Structure 1
């Protein structure tokens, strides 16, 4: 009979740092894109 070994729990601090590393530049890019687009409609 095969037993599945549980995967090691994810380090929540590393996961949070990773998402910040991804989301901060993404949010900055979206903000700048929207700010530049608003100039076109004024």
Structure 2
């Protein structure tokens, strides 16, 4: 079993994940706001 990452690494990993989620959310919203781009929004991840 792998040992958990130190708290500093966990905080950095969490921040990296949150940045990625914010970027993907922005891209998905942009696709959803564009008429006829529903399938593109679903593929944006």
Structure-2-length-normalised TM-score:
0.56
Aligned-pair CA distance for 1:15: 1.4
The within-5 A match list for 1:1-42 is 12-41=6-35
**Unmatched segments (≥5 aa) in structure 1:** 1-8
Structure (1 or 2) with the larger CA radius of gyration: 1
Higher normalized contact order (CA 8 Å, seq sep 6+, divided by chain length): 2
Q: Secondary structure at the match of 1:41?
A: coil
Q: Which runs of 4+ in 1 moved over 2 A?
A: none
The CA RMSD over aligned residues, in Å, is: 2.2
- 1:1-42 CA deviation, whole Å, 9 max, x = no partner? xxxxxxxx8852011111012111111010010011011135
Residues paired across the two proteins, number? 34
**Higher fraction of helix:** 2
